[in-house]
Structure 1
């Protein structure tokens, strides 16, 4: 039986520049640093190997090649809701609805 999962290929562009001009891309354990980043969805693929091939090609493109280790392949089941609890936005120490946090 065919794998029911699809594979999403993402890229994170990190927005925070440290005082010394550097950008933190990965944490000490090698995982992707998650703090103030923009995510781009490059594609949805039928199998992980195809997603990996597209990742390798994207690493050579302008912009992506500046952050070559900031890709992520995420498996996902079709027709599965990923936002079941909603969300809120924090703006300068307040929720998007104006409440202090």
Structure 2
């Protein structure tokens, strides 16, 4: 099994439907990702949306979207 990494994303509330997230970084541990949130949460832009941080776990050397995808018009 591949080792997990922790992706830290930031999505402002108004951007949720547009899928315009910012990938902040990729971290070796969840605690490192949480530490990054603490460093950034008071910075301009981030401070306006304190709930905008999201941590997602992914495994290295594993494919995502392995079944393909379909684009839908909204």
TM-score interval, smaller chain: 0.7 to 0.9
Structure 1 stretches of 4+ moved >4 Å: none
Query: Which residue of structure 1 aligns with residue 3 of structure 2?
Result: 4
- List runs of 5+ in structure 2 lacking aligned partners: none
Which has a greater percent of helix? Answer: 2
User: In 1, distance between residues paired with 2:17 and 2:6?
Assistant: 23
Q: TM-score, length-normalised on structure 2?
A: 0.80
Superposition RMSD in Å = 2.1
User: In 1, distance between residues paired with 2:33 and 2:69?
Assistant: 28
With a CA cutoff of 8 Å and minimum separation of 6, indicate the structure with the bigger relative contact order.
2
Q: Residue 83 in 1 paired to residue 65 in 2? A: yes
Q: TM-score, length-normalised on structure 1?
A: 0.61
> Are the structure 2 counterparts of residues 37 and 65 from structure 1 closer, same or farther at C-alpha, using a change threshold of 3 Å?
farther
Number of aligned residues: 73
- Report which of the two structures shows the higher radius of gyration computed on alpha carbons: 1
